[in-house]
Structure 1
């Protein structure tokens, strides 16, 4: 009977490693965002500091492991077989759930996922046991679930959202009033006091509170307990003096030191608090197996009351877990995607917004503006002017080449983010509450962003939408975790053979998601963004626009051919896929138009007149994309509504047009790839001939309507495709004529 459970332990060990990888990919955002976003320290040094913090946190996480053993369910009500089924269901579900969120680049809570997975699987197994019993009814489920502790954990997690946002906003507001944006010119005593406060808070809550629950606390307990006030006062005086020395004597920026210490402390708090999410369940399974294996009792009859006892974790297992976490930090590409989301939502400047506004975000922004107007009416003008001066950002005159190298936010905000998140997480850890580090760090960052006036009129509606999306994702995590873990636990309880099937499914989905994420990352790298390290000259404008035209010509060529072929075959699925690709093309062109502001700012003084040309080119590209979009959508709608197929003669005409258009677009792509712009004139002649051909097809259809055409829907679609094809050709003609004119005029000037 032992062999299946040994195999399950091996599977759980492998799942723990995978869970560490996908979990850290998600949670790296928690302790790297502030340091990377502020660019106070090089990325390499940030990673080294974070790695050391993770190691120390792993050692101090022992006390948190109790949550997986007895925090959510009452182990004495379950047999060994039951808890093994629960633990397998939790780990399989956790890996799948976190990997999906990582692939989407969305931060979610590993704490919420593990809590609700334990809850969902335990509830299902408990219901199965109750239904098989002759003496229990459904109300007995409360005997199985540790609902008091579970409720405290869930309420604590939800409260952390409000507390973290509020505390972050308040502390950042007063920090900015004290420091302003000209923090380099602040008196030394302000830096000294701020450094003393920050490092004291970190020292007390990380070093002292973080030691509770570890093997090392016993030898220090007598010195620490009962002397809290003295320790805090001595630490404050000591660190204030050290900060003053660093600022006055060594002429170093104390905020950089705070960010370094804060990154270490937050990484340590993360590992101490969240390590239970990744290895707590497998370690609990190992403890269960050790207790059962020496009992000699059948697995379905051995009660797991031993899990209710406190069992110290193996220090070597914790260090091994810390090593895997550190390796993942350095190698995970998905971690970079999640970090980028957090930084973008809290950055000070404008730029590309990942999230689209929605009705709720618009209402929130309007309500906030209304409240702000009311507050300004009450506060005296003199006070308003004083506060506004503190929030006035200095104009930093940098070369245009440095425009996109500016940090997402400054050192003051980064310091507050790290200090407040570290303190809040450490308090929860010391109370043995698995507080969501994702919730805390994300909401602290959002609170400081709001207080720091980073969400201006240009960006507020997008940032609020982003925050709402992320918070919505957290609630979705809870629901999915509960339901999915329950389903997996039910399947495993039906037959143990479901375990290898589910493990194969996990392997397949993670591999598929990894491949898809890698492709998406490569596509992102291939995109031409305006984030440059050099000024853009006229030749640069020509190169930039030529790349865009060549790429769009290739895409339109494939999309138009696909629509014609799919329409001929009446293939709804392929038309749906083509429509998604068309939508993606339109989004990319919209993004280029959104970046026109930054493109123009990047032009050198002699090339400003080229901005008009670039804007016109983008306009024609957008017209072309909108034409193919209309053709695709009309075709999909026609087939989706089950209307009649186009007639063979109509399909024949469309295929002839497609062949001619495809040949021209291939030539356009070749010309702009090779930069052989002297061949533009022959292309214009070809396009005029094609335009005449489309007009002839329109006349033929008019004649058919007068004689044998019987389907008004076919006529509507056919005319729509032909007329939009004409618009597409005209847009391309205008584009080529504009390009030819600009190219030759530039050539003459040069």
Structure 2
């Protein structure tokens, strides 16, 4: 009888390891962003500090495991088989959910997902039990679900978003008023007091509050409880004095020390709070199996009331989970790639924005500007000038080829990010409330960047859109997790044989996602975005633009051929796919144009004249992309509206034009790929022949209209394709002329 459940435990253990690796890859970078972004400590040292913090956090996370056992549902209302179905549904859903969100590149929270997965699967199993019991009505669902605790957890997660943003903004604002941006010149006592406050907050909430709920806490419980004020006061005096000694006699930069301790504390808080998301459910399943296996009762009759009792977690399992998290932290390429995204979201300077603005973000920014003007009207001018002086950024003179060494933000903001995020997470952990570490660290970073005036007129609308996307992602994660877990729990309840089927599906999706991720990573490597700060010379401009032209030429050739062939076959699905690829090409060229400012800033002094050439190249590339976009959109619209197919003569002419255009574009791509620019003149001669062929096709169509053409829709589409093809060829030829002139001038 026990064999199927042993296999389920094995499956849950494997799923836990996979979930641990995937989850840490997405979440663990939250405590690395501030330290790496400030460039206060070397990356290797940061990783070592974070690894130690994660390991300690894993050991002290025992109290959080209660959430998976009894935080969401009332275990006494379920039998052993029920809870095993719930736990299997939760883990399968969690893997699938992370897989889907990772594939879409959308932000998600492992905490939100695990809470709503437990809730969704428990609700479905409870409804099935109620439906099979004539003595119970639908209102009995409230006795199955621990709705008071569940509501408290959900509200805690939701409020953490608001609290994290507000607290981060307030603390950063006053920290900047105290420090300004010239923090290196501040008196010793200010640094000592700041160090005393920061390290006291960290030691109290991490070391003391972090131990609450673990078996170690019982040994020091009598000393700590009732002495909070005394402990904080003594800690503050000790750390302030120690900070003063370190600054005065050992010349220690106290902000760097705070960042190091803060990274450790946030890593510890993260592991203590988030470990339950990855292994809480499998450990609860193991506890359930141990209780049932010694009972001798049928799995459909054994009540799981024992889960409501406090069960100390196995310290060896926690250590193993901590070790897996640390290894993942060092080896995950995905984790390393997410660090850059997190830093960019809260950087002090301008740059390329991750999120696109929307109407709500625009309205929010306009309202904030209106509110700010009202506040400025009230505050005296003298006070405003004093505050503004504290936010004036010093001008740092660096050679252009060294500007990439500039940190994304300074030590003051990095310290506040780490302190406030670790304190908030630790408070929630001590109250055994799971919250989203992703959202807390993200919102603290957004709050501090707002208070630090990093959200200027150039970036505010994008940053606000990012915040709104995160909040929207929270709701989306919750809805999908609840629904999907409920559906999978229902499928499992049909028959236990559905579990291996679902596990096979999970394995297939993970394998597919891995292949897609590698493919996507390779595509990203091939892309050339102007997101650099190193020095660019004239040769660099030539190389850069040649790569763009070669790549765009190849893609336009493929897209044009696809449109002609799909239009000939009247294939709506393929036209739709082609249209998406065309849209992607336009977006990439728009991205290049958005980066022109940073490109020009990066040019060395002898290459400034190349900026005009580069702007013209991008303009012609955009003209060509817009032409293929119009051709693709018109063809898709024509077929989607079920209009008649083009005539054989029209298709024949289009295919002839396509063949010559493809040959031309292949030669263009080869010239720019191989840098054989002396062959450009031959291409310019061939383009005249192609333009003549297009003009001849226009004349043929005019003749058809006069004689046998009967479809005005066909005529409209055909003329549109021919005229846009002429514009496409003209844009390419203008591009080649410009390039040839520039290349010859640089040779001279």
Query: TM-score when scaled to structure 2?
Result: 0.98
After TM superposition, give the deviation of residue 402 of structure 1 in Å: 2.5
After TM superposition, give the deviation of residue 343 of structure 1 in Å: 2.2
- In the alignment, what sits opposite 1:431? 431
Matches within 5 A, 1:208-219: 208-219=208-219
In 2, the alpha carbon distance for the partners of 1:254 and 1:108 equals 35
In 2, the alpha carbon distance for the partners of 1:728 and 1:106 equals 35
Native 8 Å contact 1:25 1:102 kept in 2: no
Q: Summarize deviations over 1:618-670 as a string: whole Å, max 9, x none.
A: 10011011111111111111111111111111111111001101111111111
After TM superposition, give the deviation of residue 529 of structure 1 in Å: 2.9
In 2, the alpha carbon distance for the partners of 1:309 and 1:237 equals 41
After TM superposition, give the deviation of residue 383 of structure 1 in Å: 0.5
Q: Summarize deviations over 1:45-88 as a string: whole Å, max 9, x none.
A: 11111111010001000111111111111101000000000000
Range with bigger deviation, 263-272 or 160-169 = 160-169
Range with bigger deviation, 577-586 or 124-133 = 577-586
Matches within 5 A, 1:413-428: 413-428=413-428
Range with bigger deviation, 245-254 or 616-625 = 245-254
Matches within 5 A, 1:167-186: 167-186=167-186
Matches within 5 A, 1:356-371: 356-371=356-371
In 1, the alpha carbon distance for the partners of 2:334 and 2:141 equals 39
In 1, the alpha carbon distance for the partners of 2:403 and 2:541 equals 18
Q: Summarize deviations over 1:242-300 as a string: whole Å, max 9, x none.
A: 21222222222111111111011011011111111111100000010011111111111
- In the alignment, what sits opposite 1:145? 145
In 1, the alpha carbon distance for the partners of 2:363 and 2:119 equals 35
Is 1:630 aligned to 2:630, yes or no?
A: yes
In 1, the alpha carbon distance for the partners of 2:67 and 2:55 equals 21
Range with bigger deviation, 11-20 or 245-254 = 245-254
- RMSD of Structure 2 on Structure 1 (CA): 1.2
Is 1:451 aligned to 2:451, yes or no?
A: yes
SS in 2 for 1:249: helix
- In the alignment, what sits opposite 1:191? 191
4+ long deviations beyond 6 Å: none
In 1, the alpha carbon distance for the partners of 2:192 and 2:617 equals 55
After TM superposition, give the deviation of residue 732 of structure 1 in Å: 0.7
- In the alignment, what sits opposite 1:647? 647
Matches within 5 A, 1:252-263: 252-263=252-263
- In the alignment, what sits opposite 2:233? 233
Native 8 Å contact 1:356 1:465 kept in 2: yes
SS in 1 for 2:86: helix
Matches within 5 A, 1:697-716: 697-716=697-716
After TM superposition, give the deviation of residue 704 of structure 1 in Å: 0.4
Matches within 5 A, 1:331-350: 331-350=331-350
In 2, the alpha carbon distance for the partners of 1:503 and 1:461 equals 43
After TM superposition, give the deviation of residue 337 of structure 1 in Å: 4.2
After TM superposition, give the deviation of residue 227 of structure 1 in Å: 2.3
In 1, the alpha carbon distance for the partners of 2:339 and 2:485 equals 27
After TM superposition, give the deviation of residue 230 of structure 1 in Å: 2.1
Native 8 Å contact 1:16 1:282 kept in 2: yes
After TM superposition, give the deviation of residue 102 of structure 1 in Å: 3.2
Native 8 Å contact 2:357 2:462 kept in 1: yes
Matches within 5 A, 1:420-569: 420-532=420-532, 534-569=534-569
- In the alignment, what sits opposite 1:326? 326
In 1, the alpha carbon distance for the partners of 2:501 and 2:719 equals 53
Native 8 Å contact 1:167 1:444 kept in 2: yes
- In the alignment, what sits opposite 2:306? 306
In 1, the alpha carbon distance for the partners of 2:156 and 2:600 equals 49
In 2, the alpha carbon distance for the partners of 1:278 and 1:463 equals 30
SS in 2 for 1:354: coil
After TM superposition, give the deviation of residue 747 of structure 1 in Å: 1.3
Range with bigger deviation, 425-434 or 106-115 = 106-115
SS in 2 for 1:356: coil
After TM superposition, give the deviation of residue 27 of structure 1 in Å: 1.2
SS in 2 for 1:731: helix
- In the alignment, what sits opposite 2:155? 155
Is 1:285 aligned to 2:285, yes or no?
A: yes
- In the alignment, what sits opposite 1:730? 730
Q: Summarize deviations over 1:555-585 as a string: whole Å, max 9, x none.
A: 1111111111111111111111111111111
- In the alignment, what sits opposite 1:24? 24
After TM superposition, give the deviation of residue 532 of structure 1 in Å: 4.3
Is 1:401 aligned to 2:401, yes or no?
A: yes
- In the alignment, what sits opposite 1:79? 79
Q: Summarize deviations over 1:400-440 as a string: whole Å, max 9, x none.
A: 11233322211111110110111111111111111222222
Native 8 Å contact 1:191 1:254 kept in 2: yes
- In the alignment, what sits opposite 2:354? 354
- In the alignment, what sits opposite 1:166? 166
Q: Summarize deviations over 1:368-392 as a string: whole Å, max 9, x none.
A: 0000000000000100011011111
Matches within 5 A, 1:363-382: 363-382=363-382
After TM superposition, give the deviation of residue 195 of structure 1 in Å: 0.6
In 2, the alpha carbon distance for the partners of 1:98 and 1:402 equals 39
Range with bigger deviation, 73-82 or 327-336 = 327-336
- In the alignment, what sits opposite 1:386? 386
Native 8 Å contact 2:170 2:451 kept in 1: yes
Native 8 Å contact 2:533 2:602 kept in 1: no
SS in 2 for 1:433: coil
Native 8 Å contact 1:116 1:478 kept in 2: yes
Matches within 5 A, 1:93-108: 93-108=93-108
Unaligned runs of 5+ in 2: none
In 1, the alpha carbon distance for the partners of 2:607 and 2:34 equals 37
Native 8 Å contact 2:404 2:534 kept in 1: no
SS in 2 for 1:542: helix
In 2, the alpha carbon distance for the partners of 1:534 and 1:445 equals 27
Native 8 Å contact 2:352 2:531 kept in 1: no
In 2, the alpha carbon distance for the partners of 1:38 and 1:700 equals 66
After TM superposition, give the deviation of residue 23 of structure 1 in Å: 1.2
In 1, the alpha carbon distance for the partners of 2:69 and 2:533 equals 53
SS in 1 for 2:32: helix
Native 8 Å contact 1:102 1:334 kept in 2: no
In 1, the alpha carbon distance for the partners of 2:663 and 2:141 equals 70
Unaligned runs of 5+ in 1: none
Range with bigger deviation, 315-324 or 394-403 = 394-403
Is 1:266 aligned to 2:266, yes or no?
A: yes
In 1, the alpha carbon distance for the partners of 2:345 and 2:72 equals 34
Is 1:315 aligned to 2:315, yes or no?
A: yes
Native 8 Å contact 2:80 2:303 kept in 1: yes
Native 8 Å contact 2:564 2:658 kept in 1: yes
- In the alignment, what sits opposite 1:243? 243
After TM superposition, give the deviation of residue 217 of structure 1 in Å: 1.5
Q: How many residues align?
A: 748
SS in 1 for 2:250: coil
Range with bigger deviation, 34-43 or 263-272 = 34-43
